[in-house]
Amino acid sequence: MNKSKPIAKCWSLILPGFALVTAVAVQGVNFFRETPHARAPHLRQTVPLAPVGWNGREVPLGVNEFLSTEVEKVLNYDEAISREYSRAGESFGVYVAYWGAGKMPTRLVASHTPDRCWTENGWQCLQMKFKVAEKIGDVALQPAEWRIFEPPRGGAPTYVMYWHLVEGRTYDYGERFNNVPDPLLWWKDAVQQAVLGSREQYFIRLTSSAPLENLWNDPGFGEVLRGLGQLGLAVQPSAISRNL
């Protein structure tokens, strides 16, 4: 009988726990008493509501988002926008949530992706791509998670791209479907939470009933993307690309 596997599994649980306890001891009571610090409201001013050629409107978060109906209470965000842009039979949606530093642990924000929340409400992922690189004009965007979801009772699929930015850098979900959190990433986030506290975060999601790539060269869609770029979606030329 091979005893090495149970021993290795045991240490894989003990070592991260020891690291977490050590980190908490180093930081002390600040781990429990973070002081939230957020920007003034800025999402509605940054992301245009009426880009050229499109009619925009504010919409409530869909019922497929979360098991709880008290969305704001569950997410605990500082600010959020949810919009639909339409014209002559075409439409796309934009959802952005913002958490200032000290507001929300990274691992909790990372657990509220379409991969988890939509599938828990009956949606099925038909296709997925990871860390998709796109540009708006000559400006590179942070790598995106790309999905196609089918509604619970069938019908037209929804095309999705989403980003989770932590201090301006893309959160690395790994190349996997994230309906269940990666245990190693969970521990890593817990340790970083203890050492660094909760950092500034954005969650950005685009949805459409048609491939989003079809809209990429549209002037109005580009106007929205440039607004999102100001929130950190655009890669700064001087930035060094690195994952968390």
State pTM to two decimals. 0.79
Cβ atoms < 10 Å from Cβ of 193: 22
Q: What is the pLDDT of residue 33?
A: 47
Task: Give me the DSSP letters along 163-188.
Answer: EEEETTEE----SS--SS--HHHHHH
> What's the one-letter identity of residue 224?
V
List, in sequence order, every residue forming a beta bridge with 163; answer none if it has no partner. 204
Q: How many residues does the chain have?
A: 244
Q: What is the pLDDT of residues 44-89, one digit of tens each?
A: 999 999 999 999 999 987 655 544 445 556 688 899 999 999 999 8
Q: What is the pLDDT of residues 21-38, one digit of tens each?
A: 444 444 443 444 467 778
Q: What is the pLDDT of residues 140-186, one digit of tens each?
A: 999 999 999 999 988 899 999 999 999 989 998 888 888 887 777 77
- CA–CA gap between residue 211 and residue 172 (Å, rounded): 24
